[in-house]
Structure 1
């Protein structure tokens, strides 16, 4: 077992330059701990927020290893670990020491990997066994590293309520080409739904179509006036007004993000009444849902999309900057080996 790991830490929240590489001592393996050799990590908007302090999230620990999403190979397990053994390929789950069926709260997420508990931007990590799930067969480590947050959030948004699960004949609307949106597109297409994607970039529109999406500025027209069954809203204040216009009567808006700022009048709870629809906040998902998503990924032969530029370990700051300026397509990933 290695005694040290090469790791990035976030010393403080004064921007991306708060990131620093160190040699870090690994803790002893506890009874329920698993040592993982990490091969890949992916970044989320949460990582930018934590680095810049732009949103005052609680429980940030200065010097934490950032990033919650990763994939690798189990090297050693504690004496009471039952779910994993050396050689297993695993993905990280953001929370740990939680029941598999429990939906993480905002407090659980803020107490999790990359914010309070050391995350994935390192060559080796010791994780509680409940912070891991088995990797889907057929994926490489970069693809698998995208599932922890974006993939799981998209899965929960689409499949978290049985009544609204995408199927043949259903219409799903996604916004843009970030990680949650692309994962939702892939899952919904695989389930047989018609997916409408909105983007302001013609180049990205072409890529979205290649993944099975229909492009349209006026989503409701593409449903012959019926409206969208399920909207995956990633923008929040900036996109909710459009989501309310697009959703069908008794449809669902899954609110998964806060990427945008309000432009004009703010949406309110009264919009749910006036549009006769449901708005559901979605943050991550359960470990049971993670396992379900991974089985679906295997069954349907889904290959998560990674941005064409993959960063090396020493290039993490550049990876953060690409994500910050939103110059990526789907997921920004870092190869750790």
Structure 2
């Protein structure tokens, strides 16, 4: 039996920065007929979780809300009409609970965990059976908890529009979660990977993960042209995982191949509007620039099959926080002290 109450982190408001995040007691939710009660064992943080209490998140929110979208745990109770899961199953959460197949539609954008629907920074969660997937057999709970947002976003970037083919070239920016998954997925597919970073220590880790070429964007500010020169016949990169936004997009245009895809995922890089490429740069470079908003349950299942088949293990930061230390985890990640995904052990 589950207890009556539990500990949870709730985003109470978005006016007080991380102070809007409150650790409190709450009731363990009851299971509906098509719902599943999960004892959460782990959660992981995304940049999105940090900007919600900072009032910088551009997608739907409904506060107060239990924080964080990414979690993994064990099914401890199922509703009478649940068919996909049984007690004891290891599961991970789906980011947009309503995004089941194909392209995302507007109603599904109002089903984001940790934004509109209560998320994973708590001891127990009730989720619709459509909002969970079976966790990969080869991963532990901390690793599985990293798949919901960063991994699926990366998988969607490489397979959601124009699927990556062996022998193509992928460029990943930096060493955040989305980029690390992109590197691993691309290598598993037989692609060549160019990675950008600003530090020698991070370059070493990128090498260990299989990056074929590494460019230091601090010492080589014109890294887009440098990346292009590393591609067959200097034709350019097939897929770019663009996480820097305004600060990096101009260089991504310099690197992209004709008919290549730039998947815009983040906006970390800052930059001034006057320096920005315009929509016409897509024509002069003959390429697709695409915003990626995580992905569907169907895509997540495809991704998990690939993770199991290739024994891919997420890059998880050495420092693991406990549930009561989640506020420190937010500060640690905001200071960019992490490498790969930052995880929180719950039970």
Matched, 1:314 2:324: yes
Matched, 1:137 2:137: yes
Q: How does 1:96-245 map to 2 (within 5 A)?
A: 96=97, 98=98, 100-105=100-105, 108-161=108-161, 164-213=162-211, 214-216=213-215, 217=223, 218-223=226-231, 224-245=233-254
1:210-230, CA deviations, whole angstroms, 9 ceiling, x for partnerless residues? Answer: 100020242112114121011
Shift of 1:57: 4.1
1:302-329, CA deviations, whole angstroms, 9 ceiling, x for partnerless residues? Answer: 0011011111111101111122122211
Shift of 1:166: 2.7
Contact 1:251-1:277 within 8 A present in 2 as well: yes
Shift of 1:111: 3.6
State TM-score, norm by structure 1. Answer: 0.95
**1:87 match:** 88
Q: How does 1:10-29 map to 2 (within 5 A)?
A: 10-13=11-14, 14-29=16-31
Contact 2:60-2:109 within 8 A present in 1 as well: no
- Once residues 277 and 185 of structure 1 are traced to their aligned partners in structure 2, the CA distance between those partners, rounded to angstroms, is 21
Contact 1:255-1:279 within 8 A present in 2 as well: yes
- Once residues 106 and 273 of structure 1 are traced to their aligned partners in structure 2, the CA distance between those partners, rounded to angstroms, is 28
DSSP 3-state at the match of 2:306:
helix
Shift of 1:22: 1.3
- Once residues 108 and 116 of structure 2 are traced to their aligned partners in structure 1, the CA distance between those partners, rounded to angstroms, is 10
Q: How does 1:27-46 map to 2 (within 5 A)?
A: 27-46=29-48
Shift of 1:17: 1.9
DSSP 3-state at the match of 2:309:
helix
- Once residues 301 and 151 of structure 1 are traced to their aligned partners in structure 2, the CA distance between those partners, rounded to angstroms, is 14
Matched, 1:288 2:298: yes
Unaligned ranges ≥5, structure 2: 216-222
1:88-121, CA deviations, whole angstroms, 9 ceiling, x for partnerless residues? Answer: 000000222x362143357634542101211000
1:3-43, CA deviations, whole angstroms, 9 ceiling, x for partnerless residues? Answer: 22211111111111222211111232100110000000001
Contact 1:50-1:57 within 8 A present in 2 as well: no
- Once residues 105 and 23 of structure 1 are traced to their aligned partners in structure 2, the CA distance between those partners, rounded to angstroms, is 35
- Once residues 57 and 80 of structure 2 are traced to their aligned partners in structure 1, the CA distance between those partners, rounded to angstroms, is 40
Change over 3 Å in CA distance of 1:168–1:95 after alignment to 2: closer
1:284-318, CA deviations, whole angstroms, 9 ceiling, x for partnerless residues? Answer: 01100000000000000100110111111111011
Contact 2:9-2:121 within 8 A present in 1 as well: yes
- Once residues 177 and 145 of structure 1 are traced to their aligned partners in structure 2, the CA distance between those partners, rounded to angstroms, is 18
Shift of 1:56: 5.2
Contact 1:166-1:192 within 8 A present in 2 as well: no
**2:333 match:** 323
Between Structure 1 and Structure 2, how many residues are aligned? 333
- Once residues 96 and 230 of structure 2 are traced to their aligned partners in structure 1, the CA distance between those partners, rounded to angstroms, is 39
RMSD over aligned CA atoms reads 1.5
DSSP 3-state at the match of 1:319:
helix
- Once residues 112 and 249 of structure 2 are traced to their aligned partners in structure 1, the CA distance between those partners, rounded to angstroms, is 28
Change over 3 Å in CA distance of 1:76–1:315 after alignment to 2: same
Q: 1:261 aligns with which of 263, 266, 270?
A: 270
Change over 3 Å in CA distance of 1:56–1:281 after alignment to 2: closer
Contact 1:6-1:21 within 8 A present in 2 as well: yes
Contact 1:95-1:104 within 8 A present in 2 as well: no
DSSP 3-state at the match of 1:35:
strand
**1:297 match:** 307
**2:218 match:** none
Contact 2:96-2:296 within 8 A present in 1 as well: no
DSSP 3-state at the match of 1:51:
coil
